[in-house]
Amino acid sequence: MALSTEESGRLAALLGEQDERVTTRWTEIVTSSLRGRLSQAELRRQVQDLHRAIVTTSEQGVIDLSADSAAELRAALSELSRGRARQGFSATETTISIFALKDVLAELVQEAGGPNALHDYVAFSKLVDEMGLFTFESFVRTRESLIADQAEQLLELSTPVVKLWEGVVAVPLVGTLDSARAQVVMERLLQTLVDTSSPYAIIDITGVPAVDTQVAQHILKTVVAARLMGADCIISGIRPQIAQTIVALGIEFGDIATKASLADALRHVLRLTGVETARRQPRRGI
Amino acid sequence: MTADIDLGQPQAQAVQSDEDVVRVRQLVRAVAVAVKLSLVDQTKVVTAASELARNTLVYGGGGSVEVATVDNGRRKGVRIVFSDSGPGIADLDLALTDGYTTGGGLGLGLSGSRRLVDEFDIETSTETGTRITVTKWSR
């Protein structure tokens, strides 16, 4: 769907000769579609960049969007879509900036007239379609990478392993425990056990809204893995409704110690390690 | 989420991915809160929904879930229908046995969910897939 040398020559002439008018009209159409969410000046600059890229590319002869000669044009298009994707514009609002060029071209071709008018317009139109699709694809790519980044950040955010005491680490689980997160939790916990050479780990599920068989299985696997490394695990944060649900489901935690709260779990571990906790006697007479 | 639950209308949710299982859970919780189920019953029905929605996804190859409120004059409740057009369950008695699994899980999802709800109805065939209807009444 490349443009032939004559066609691109005519395109270059058409867009190049009246560049001021083309960019102004183009900016106008795009501005109305975005309803003032981008400043006129910024839009104008983007349109000018695109315009320049198209003219430069078409002056070189054959335009083929996938060829090396169109690298500058592709860069301009992906820069535009990347910017729009990051600013939270929709796919339509992004690609319309490209498709607006069709309206401009229709006006120009009509004015210029000539025997090739229809043929040229169809050819230019195809090029604009191709540019639009390319923009759309890079828009989607940018969005996907944004989502992937966020998912990764979320994984990092939501799975801290904290040291509670000498030899005691805790993992407060919050939210949904799917396979990906369970894997991260297990890796973190096992690594922290090694790094801090802790013999005890507390897995706190206060923040997990529903404990179903999948969640239970993930927790059980983590406990078994920690045991293989010589560490004892205590599961804490089992609220009454969770306890009743676990019983009804028929999940068995076997000989794994479970406690209602993190404080109970810590006290349990401290007792096991022989640490005595006592209240200081209040002083009298002062 | 909780505020705009229309009690009269059944809410549908497609189940095509793990995220959809989370959405089903949130939807069921919202409806369970709206019909004033106790915290324990909420947790039970949400957990059962989570199990069955995951079964729909993993064994049924995806499907849909419909959550509705029911009222028998004395009590209100939540009714959830899970349907898929997957391969069906070959041996229902075996599938409802504790600890039996074909997928590497704990083998408690189906049998456990039956214990978590008040009414449990399962229709399955190798041609049309599986349809499970569960109901939890308020007390």
Count the alpha carbons within 13 Å of B14 in the hemisphere toward its beta carbon: 3
Residue A84 exposed, middle or buried by CB count within 10 Å (0-12, 13-18, 19+): buried
How far apart (Å, rounded) are the C-alpha atoms in residues A84 and B16? 29
State residue B10's pLDDT score: 84
Q: Which residues 12-71 on chain B approach chain A with CB closer than 8 angstroms?
A: 18, 22, 25, 29, 39-40, 42-44, 46-47, 50-51, 54
What is the CA angle B113-B100-B39, rounded to 5? Answer: 20
What pTM did the predictor assign? 0.66
Low-confidence ranges of chain A (pLDDT < 70): 1, 155-158, 285-286
Quick one: which of A54, A53, A56, A28 has its CA closest to A40? A28
A4 in Cβ contact with A61 (< 8 Å)? no
Closest A-chain CA to B98: A250
Which of B18, B111, B116 is nearest residue A245 as measured by Cβ atoms? B116
Which of B44, B46, B109 is nearest residue A213 as measured by Cβ atoms? B109
**Which parts of chain A fold into alpha helices (H)?**
5-17, 19-34, 40-59, 71-86, 91-112, 117-157, 179-196, 213-228, 240-249, 262-272
How far apart (Å, rounded) are the C-alpha atoms in residues A54 and A130? 13
CB contact under 8 A, A178 and B18: yes
CB contact under 8 A, A210 and B108: no
Quick one: which of A213, A44, A267 has its CA closest to B98? A213
Mean residue pLDDT of chain B comes to 88
pLDDT at B89 over 50: yes
Quick one: which of A119, A133, A124, A127 has its CA closest to A105? A124
Q: Determine the average pLDDT of the residues in B76-83.
A: 94
pLDDT tens-digit readout, A154-182: 766 667 889 999 899 999 988 877 777 78
How far apart (Å, rounded) are the C-alpha atoms in residues A209 and A237? 11
Q: Determine the average pLDDT of the residues in B43-48.
A: 93
The residues, ordered by sequence, that sit 6+ positions from A202 with a Cβ below 8 Å of its Cβ are: A164, A168, A169, A170, A171, A233, A234, A235, A236, A262, A265, A266, A269
Could you give the residue range(s) of every CATH 3.30.750.24 domain in chain A? 162-272
Beta-bridge mates of residue B71: B76
CB contact under 8 A, B44 and A245: yes
State residue B2's pLDDT score: 40
Q: Determine the average pLDDT of the residues in B79-99.
A: 91
**Which parts of chain B fold into alpha helices (H)?**
18-34, 39-58, 92-95, 109-116
CB contact under 8 A, B44 and A242: no
- The superfamily in CATH containing domain B11-137 is Histidine kinase-like ATPase, C-terminal domain (3.30.565.10)
ipTM, interface predicted TM-score of the complex: 0.82
Fold held by A5-155: Globin-like (1.10.490)
Quick one: which of B98, B16, B54, B139 has its CA closest to A176? B54
Q: Best interface-test mutation with B: which of A213, A219, A224 has the largest number of B CBs within 10 A? A: A213
pLDDT tens-digit readout, A40-90: 888 888 888 888 888 888 887 777 777 777 888 888 888 888 888 888 888
CB contact under 8 A, A248 and B115: yes
Domain A162-272 top-level CATH class: alpha beta
B10 inside 8 A of chain A by CB: no
Quick one: which of B66, B48, B3, B53 has its CA closest to B30? B3
How far apart (Å, rounded) are the C-alpha atoms in residues B138 and B131? 23
Helix, strand and coil content of chain B, in percent to the nearest 5, comes to 35, 30, 35
State residue A158's pLDDT score: 66
pLDDT at B8 over 70: no
Tell how strand B11-15 and strand A232-236 pair up. Answer: unpaired
Per-residue pLDDT band for B6 (boundaries 50, 70, 90) equals: low
State residue B3's pLDDT score: 41
Which residue reads 């406690």 in tokens? A259
Quick one: which of A251, A174, A179 has its CA closest to A212? A251
Which residue reads 């996804």 in tokens? B57
A183 in Cβ contact with A217 (< 8 Å)? no
Q: Determine the average pLDDT of the residues in B21-49.
A: 92
Quick one: which of A131, A126, A177, A133 has its CA closest to A155? A177
Quick one: which of B129, B55, B133 has its CA closest to B85? B129
How far apart (Å, rounded) are the C-alpha atoms in residues A178 and B67? 23
CB contact under 8 A, B50 and A212: yes
pLDDT at B50 over 70: yes
What is the CA angle A20-A21-A26, rounded to 5? Answer: 105
